Structure 1
Amino acid sequence: MPRATADIHRIVRIVQQTGRQWNPTAVSAVAQDSRDPFRILISCLISLRTKDEVTAEASARLFRLARTARAMMRLPAIRIARAIYPAGFYRTKARTIKRLCRTLVQQHGSRVPADLETLLTLKG
């Protein structure tokens, strides 16, 4: 085996071994646990400028209140804000989550768009 190829394989092994020591991000954990695009999207919004530990707890609190876009849309923004506190910018995120849920319900049949182009049109 050529030296460059051996070095690449060695580097990949080191990265794989080191990676096992890291905890998954809060959003990755939601993705692995639920595989629900809505939960992943909402957790991703909460995670912006927020520590993973806070994101995980805030997401769990919010999903205990509402599990779907329709149910979350019906929550008052203040209730969403209280659920996701102390996430950074929690009041702004609460309004964004509520608006996003309304858009999902009214324009996308309560589903997160599967294609990237449409997903990127969502505000938030």
Structure 2
Amino acid sequence: MMGQLTYIALAITVMITGYYAVIFIRDPEVALERATHRRELLPLVMTGRYIALFLFALGVMLLNDIKLSAFFFSVCAFIGLYDGWIYRSRNLPHFKHTITGLLALGALGISILALVTSGTAI
């Protein structure tokens, strides 16, 4: 019962975050308004995002699950490389973002190798 409720909660979370992902892709300005974000508060919002990402990383490390680690590194690689691409495409400094994405991509490779060699890849 509780497992099913947890799964339903995850499904709702996927729908909500997916909705916001789509509207941000389509029109970031409209999405900022719909999400009730204020441009002048984005530095504080980013603070919360970095704290949340730290907590995710800590949780993944404490759970010590290679599959979860691989998934986490794939998400981190996307974040770093996407941010790097945004800055690079506007001729702005992008090294910190891009290298973070590449390091996460390397960690993903190590995780996949660990899964394959341990026989738990599936």
Structure-1-length-normalised TM-score: 0.28
Structure-2-length-normalised TM-score: 0.28
Structure with the higher fraction of residues in helix conformation: 2
- Report which of the two structures shows the higher radius of gyration computed on alpha carbons: 1
